[in-house]
Structure 1
Amino acid sequence: MSDVKKIATRESYGNALVEVGKENPNVVVLDADLAAATKTGTFKKVFPERHIDCGIAECNMTGVAAGLATTGKIPFISSFAMFAAGRNFEQVRNSIGYPHLNVKIGATHAGISVGEDGASHQCNEDIALMRTIPGMVVVCPSDDVEAKAAVKAAVEHEGPVYLRFGRLAVPVINDRPDYKFELGKGVVLREGKDLTIVATGLPVAECLAAADMLAKDGIDAKVINIHTIKPLDEELIIAAAKETGKVVTVEEHSVIGGLGSAVCDCLCANAPTKVLKIGMNDKFGESGAAVALLHKYGLDAEGIYNKIKEWA
């Protein structure tokens, strides 16, 4: 995919904040001394009076955002996923989730593709954490187009939203006229009859490439992009499972509590189906180049292809 345009979704996040900021004067952005990395600095340049740097105090930032939300503002709090969801969990749960306030959480640098920052910063648990908070919408966009659409949808949605973005540049796969983003609705990217691949975030593009590799071996794989993990598009997943008989979930996240768990919960209750979960298998990451780590842990096209071929 070297000839395909690639953009990191954290870049998309920063650019999208400017767009929604122009459309809605109530949008305010808070950061925890990471504006350059989270790309909220892009918003700050255009709207300095609506950008608040709270310093290295993520929990306090969350409380400030909660207060702003009670005044009618639409605050976006921003930090690395490890801090926005991990360090911040109690405050997100009690100050945003419990009162169901209209706060949006922009979590960047998620997953092992953070690379050289290592296991301490490679958050593979955030989707699981945020899924457990009642009323929290959880979104993990797959590319630039989807990330921008997700930010806009988050502004339009009344209530808390967790948005997961990455550091590594990923292929733009949704740049087409018929693309439509809707919270809670999955997108079928490829039809197939032998099995269904359900993916979210960075691995979506890799799954499309893996499906092409599987096709050469006579395995016709349907590929579904689930950008909204909560609420999950259960109707689409159940229909695909009944149609193909096998389901593979792929995520740059732990296989415990993330997309795979959500899909298994859905299918167990509605359409028992054989499922393979591909992700981080109860392991911490490690320091290294992002692309090399994705390959080592089987989250690139080759790794996904090999795991499905062996399983199917």
Structure 2
Amino acid sequence: MSTTTATVTTPQRSAAMIASIADAGVPTTSAPFGHALNALAARDPRIVGLTADLAKYTDMHLFAAEYPDRFFEMGMAEQVMIGAAAGMAAVGLVPFASTYSVFATRRAYDFLCLDAAEPKLNVNIVAALPGLTTGYGPSHQATEDVAILRGMPDLTIFDPADAVDVEGIVPAAAAIEGPTYTRLLRGKVPRILDQYDYTFEVGKAKVVRPGDDAVIVSSGLMTMRALLAAEKLSSEHKVEVSVVHCATLKPFDEETVVAELDTDRAAFTAENHTVVGGLFETVAAALVKRGIGKKVGAIGLPDEFIDAGALPTLHDRYGLSTDSVVARVLAGLH
């Protein structure tokens, strides 16, 4: 346990450090991953679940309770878990392996790469606490997980915005040839995309909300924040913002994103990840390849280790809160 974690002593402070990412008024769904996995397992006997001592904290405990004979507790051994999952996939099972993002990427990269990706095995890594979704400091904040994994061949990377995405990703991941990595939102997960004309599709970016004044290309929980900011900008400032959600970061839907950015509108990316190696640089590369000169503002985490503290405070401090997005868009219009 890190020193930072050990200093969290009062229930009030601890609750703030693991606060829900849902803004006030946004409906939530409890443990959408666990319920979706159970629903899939009821239809497909090949589905198995593994965890590295984090079933309760990745919503895998629901699967463990429903399918104890298909659940494997691997202990604090992420490399072993991924190697075992690869072995299961090699004999025809469809494993979903859960841990925290920091452990799946920083500790177990080589096992995911050589045991799962190189032989194109359907190993599904479901990784909680991506980006800044905990206040427990750098030991638990996976602010660079996408940057670590983007260069791995044959790996599909998902960054769900809410429960609607999570529910769509689980069966889709099981059907993909090769491994997948999902930046899991767990616990009480926001549910916002079903308020729009949206359907999850692997590899497809979606224009969730149209707007003539600015465009935000977003992923993960920042799509929720972008949508909330867009509604606030519309009602309070008469500014209409288009929101393009990228639930799949790899393979990346360059055509849809570039078409939305190649206009006179102010443009931004928004991601719960460092601005190095994630959505912002993916978008920038897509524009450069097409010879498009376009200024794009990056809303994301800085290239530094993030502070520990109360999660809502950190989101304000590092520009991920809804009000911060509103301020960035307004500043970019002038």
TM-score (norm. length: structure 1): 0.94
1:56 Cα offset (Å): 0.5
Q: Verify the 8 A CA contact 2:29 2:190 in the aligned structure 1.
A: yes
Match of 2:101 among 81, 94, 100: 81
Paired residue type of 1:141:
P
Q: How is 1:149-298 mapped onto 2 (pairs within 5 angstroms)?
A: 149-167=168-186, 169-175=188-194, 178-215=197-234, 216-270=236-290, 271-298=292-319
Deviations 1:74-130 (A, max 9, x none): 111110000012211111111111121111110011121212x22210101111112
Q: Cα 1:254–1:269, aligned 2, differ >3 Å: closer, same or farther?
A: same
The alignment partner of 2:56 has SS state of: helix
Q: Cα 1:177–1:14, aligned 2, differ >3 Å: closer, same or farther?
A: same
Q: Cα 1:6–1:153, aligned 2, differ >3 Å: closer, same or farther?
A: same
Between the aligned partners of 1:59 and 1:244, the Cα distance in structure 2 is: 48
Residue 151 of structure 2: aligned partner? 132
Q: Cα 1:245–1:179, aligned 2, differ >3 Å: closer, same or farther?
A: closer
1:244 Cα offset (Å): 4.1
Q: Cα 1:66–1:76, aligned 2, differ >3 Å: closer, same or farther?
A: same
Paired residue type of 1:79:
T
Paired residue type of 1:145:
V
Q: Cα 1:263–1:168, aligned 2, differ >3 Å: closer, same or farther?
A: farther
Between the aligned partners of 1:247 and 1:97, the Cα distance in structure 2 is: 34
Q: Cα 1:114–1:44, aligned 2, differ >3 Å: closer, same or farther?
A: same
1:175 Cα offset (Å): 2.3
The alignment partner of 1:37 has SS state of: coil
Between the aligned partners of 2:164 and 2:264, the Cα distance in structure 1 is: 29
Q: Verify the 8 A CA contact 1:196 1:244 in the aligned structure 2.
A: no
* Number of residue-to-residue matches in the alignment: 309
Deviations 1:254-284 (A, max 9, x none): 1001111111111111233111111111021
What percent identity do the matched residue pairs reach? 36
Q: Verify the 8 A CA contact 2:162 2:185 in the aligned structure 1.
A: no
| Stretch of structure 1 that moved more, 175-184 or 227-236 | 175-184
User: Structure 1: which 5+ residue stretches go unaligned?
Assistant: none
